[in-house]
Amino acid sequence: MVKYRNYGKENPGLWGSIFFVSFLCLLTAYCDAYMVGNNPHHRVEVLDPLGRYELEWLVDWESERVIFNVTVRTTGYIGFGLSSNGRMRGADIVTGGVAANGEPYFTDRHSVGDELPEIDTIQDWVLHKAWESHSHTFLSFSRAFDTCDPQDYVITEDRIALIWAIGEKDNDIQYHHQNRGFFNVHLIHPDYTPPITRQSDKGITQVLGKENTDLRVWTISRSWEIPSDHTTYWCTMHSPPKLPHKHHVVGFEVRFDSEENKKHVHHIVMFKCNAPRSRSTRSLFEPFLGYRGQQCLAVVEIQPGGPIPTEYCTEMFLGWAIGSRTMFIPQHVGIPFAESPDEYYLLQVHYDNPNQLTGLEVGLKIDFFYTSKLRAHDGAMMMIGHQVPGLTPSFLIPPSSIGHSIYGHCGSMCTRRMLPTDGINLVAVSLHSHNSGRQMKLQHFRKNRELPWIASDSNYAFNFQQFRVMRKEVKMLQGDHIIMKCVYDSTWTNGTVVGGFSTRQDMCLAFLIYYNKLQDFSVCQSEIISEDYRNHFLNVQNITWTPSQLEFVVDPPESMGGLTISEVSDNFVEWNVENRAELQRFHFYHPQINSCPRDLYTRNLLNSGESQVDPDDFSASVIYPSNARVYQPKETCSFAKNT
Ligand SMILES: *[C@@H]1O[C@H](CO)[C@@H](O)[C@H](O)[C@H]1NC(C)=O
Ligand SMILES: *[C@@H]1O[C@H](CO)[C@@H](O)[C@H](O)[C@H]1NC(C)=O
Ligand SMILES: *[C@@H]1O[C@H](CO)[C@@H](O)[C@H](O)[C@H]1NC(C)=O
């Protein structure tokens, strides 16, 4: 239990630790979140890019409160708030500080626009402590997850945009352009990132704290002039440092050479390469170390883009997506690494160049943190969701849709095939969609019942795809049915959004980190394969996936021959209310084809030859369990009020 002490003027004994934190940030030149004292619910973040505003917070699950400590370089007021989108309007805000006479002041407010927020009728935020030095102000305050006050924001597992403001004076609380900003977080998710200091980019990384001094880092540096195409998926081959025995990768981070560079990388996936039995790993992959790389769209190659044998690099290792900060997995799980002296990895980077700029040099560094102290379990990453682009264009969001849903299944046939009898344990998840993604929910069905959601975000930000470590790990058993539900808003464009690789197209995926590692499987996806789709909604017959256009294109000699599916949909389909509703029903009720292929490596072992056919390859039909008992989250005040 946390004790709530009243504020008072106190000699800042905390000053030392604040100083220590700032010192760390200076030393590392970057200040990502990290946990304090081995407690993943106690975290530190620097909210202001200029380093003036530091937040330390503790999620107290017993009392369902969050305790915030802010240390800000000002002797004026401090503003802090919770918001869905980073804007003032609708935000829940507190302002406070220490006045010239030494008296603290602190008010719970809410904002109705970009002006001085109004004072709440009920003051639900509690100030515990406040002090001021010649340069800094410190406030410690707390709030319940849900205060049951309609003028407050409800803290859930949804993405929250923390608003911060730095005032120059105490008696002058107002809207301030320069000294404010917002910062996306998954506020109540645990974070296992230790404080890190670097000695050099390529060398050993020392980690502060007694427990983690064995951490080292494998850094891949890439600097490349990206093509002027809107979308480029580029693959390069890499080998890790030579190590004498198995290690565990326990965390990763992507750093960019500039803020501008950050905008041009949408995702990164690392695959492990496994040679078929008849070939030597070294001779198959070694020639491509240092090779400039090649186009590579999907896990299993759609567009053969060059000489790298990417078809053998299908085992998912780790993934990163836009906006993510450092990620460490819980302390009982590690991803096996350096199990053999010859290991090769394929790095896939999705570069995003919406303005089709030329001569754009994008530099980044990917750090994999690894340890020789093996953790209790071997972990791995897998992907669940809707197939993209699939065999047919069944991922379709009509023009200017609000709330259009797509469902990607991993059904019971697949989980029976993939999982061992005691199942697997999910520990972290990253929800992945593109520009249109607004709400994502990873649902979990067992027998005829829906279990609590594995992850859910009804305030999804497509540019903040941080992995979330789950507070309680989730067991996934044989026969379970997992559904990735994605809700889209495509009003940002006037056109149809199809499933696809570009950020203008969309995806519906979850990346999961789990243990114990499965030897054979990395993906479980579904799609609707139906003649009806083309005949009924689009009125086209023969189509071909065309890599150069990243879309399905209607075959000549049909009247619409040469047009892409989105062009057909934009120009020839009448998207009236009935058609939209019918398409939505179709996505929900129509059976989908579920596929959970073995990794190619295992297929080759099974065949003990070069054939790429899985001897027990199958695809199962899967349908939304609409008769199952629906999961109802615990009633909170806000739920009660809304009904
Ligand atoms: C906030 O600061 C107080 C000292 O004033 C300290 O006791 C407490 O642990 C801190 N809480 C958090 C969440 O950092
Ligand atoms: C969508 O808008 C763009 C310009 O903003 C325009 O060029 C295009 O013709 C529009 N498309 C449709 C289908 O209205
Ligand atoms: C579609 O392809 C099939 C087989 O190639 C052909 O028989 C049929 O006429 C084509 N349909 C149209 C509308 O072009």
Distances (CA, A) of 524 to 201, 403, 493, 586: 37, 25, 30, 21
Check if 599 has its Cβ closer than 6 Å to any atom of ligand 1.
no
**Token digits for 553?**
């294109």
Give the C-alpha separation, 167 to 174, whole Å: 8
- Name the burial class of residue 415, with classes exposed (0-12), middle (13-18) and buried (19+) by CB atoms within 10 angstroms of its CB: buried
- The protein residue whose alpha carbon is closest to atom 4 in ligand 1 is 14
Average pLDDT over residues 228-248: 94
SS (HEC) of 543-612: EEEEHHHCEEEECCCCCCCCCEHHHHHHHHCCCCHHHHHHHHHHHHHCCEEEECCECHHHHHHHHCCCCC
pLDDT in tens, 500-558: 999 999 999 999 999 999 988 999 999 998 887 778 889 898 999 888 889 999 999 88
Ligand 2: nearest atom to the Cα of 399: 13
Average pLDDT over residues 215-219: 90
Which of 514, 512, 500 is CA-nearest to residue 266? 500
**Token digits for 526?**
């579904």
Measured in angstroms, how far is the CA atom of residue 344 from the centroid of ligand 1? 46
Specify whether the CB–CB gap between 383 and 522 falls below 8 A.
Answer: yes
Average pLDDT, the chain: 88
Residue indicated by tokens 């990395």: 522
Long-range contacts of 297-302 (CB under 8 A, 24+ apart): 297/233, 297/501, 297/547, 298/388, 298/501, 299/271, 299/522, 299/523, 300/597, 300/600, 302/389, 302/545, 302/547
pLDDT in tens, 334-373: 999 999 989 999 999 999 999 999 999 999 999 999 999 9
Give the C-alpha separation, 405 to 497, whole Å: 12
The answer, yes or no, to whether residue 55 has pLDDT greater than 60, is yes
The answer, yes or no, to whether residue 31 has pLDDT greater than 70, is no
271: β partners: 316, 346
In this prediction, residue 213 carries a pLDDT of 67
SS (HEC) of 509-523: EEEEEEECCCCCECE
Residue 99 counted as domain residue:
yes
pLDDT tier at 618 (50, 70, 90 boundaries)? low
Which residues have any ligand 2 atom within 6 Å of their CB?
494-495, 570
In this prediction, residue 394 carries a pLDDT of 87
Which of 278, 221, 214, 206 is CA-nearest to residue 243? 214
- Which ligand is closest to the CA of 557, given by its number? 3
pTM of the model: 0.91
Residue 158 counted as domain residue:
yes
Q: Name the phi and psi angles at 268, rounded to 5.
A: -140, 130
Measured in angstroms, how far is the CA atom of residue 403 from the centroid of ligand 2? 22
More confident residue, 41 or 175: 41
Q: Name the phi and psi angles at 457, rounded to 5.
A: -145, 110
Residue 525 counted as domain residue:
no
- Which ligand is closest to the CA of 65, given by its number? 1
Measured in angstroms, how far is the CA atom of residue 541 from the centroid of ligand 3? 7
Count of structural domains within the chain: 1
Which residues have any ligand 3 atom within 6 Å of their CB?
541-542, 558
What is the DSSP code string of 290-354? T---EE--SSS-SS--SSS-GGG--EEEEEEETT---EE--TTEEEEE-SSS--EEEEEEEEE-T
- The protein residue whose alpha carbon is closest to atom 5 in ligand 3 is 542
Continuous segment of H or E residues that includes residue 219: strand 216-226
Q: Report the CATH number at residue 86.
A: 2.60.40.1210
- Which ligand is closest to the CA of 572, given by its number? 2
Q: Is the dihedral of CA 595, 601, 602, 606 positive or negative?
A: positive
In this prediction, residue 3 carries a pLDDT of 34
In this prediction, residue 15 carries a pLDDT of 42
Measured in angstroms, how far is the CA atom of residue 161 from the centroid of ligand 1? 22
Measured in angstroms, how far is the CA atom of residue 69 from the centroid of ligand 1? 6
Residue 15 counted as domain residue:
yes
Residue 27 counted as domain residue:
yes
Structural domain of 85: 3-185
Q: What is the DSSP letter of 242?
A: P
pLDDT tier at 195 (50, 70, 90 boundaries)? confident
Check if 58 has its Cβ closer than 6 Å to any atom of ligand 1.
yes
- Which ligand is closest to the CA of 54, given by its number? 1
Measured in angstroms, how far is the CA atom of residue 393 from the centroid of ligand 2? 22
Residue 55 counted as domain residue:
yes
Residue 206 counted as domain residue:
no
Q: In percent, how much of the chain has pLDDT > 90?
A: 71
Average pLDDT over residues 111-137: 91
Ligand 2: nearest atom to the Cα of 494: 1
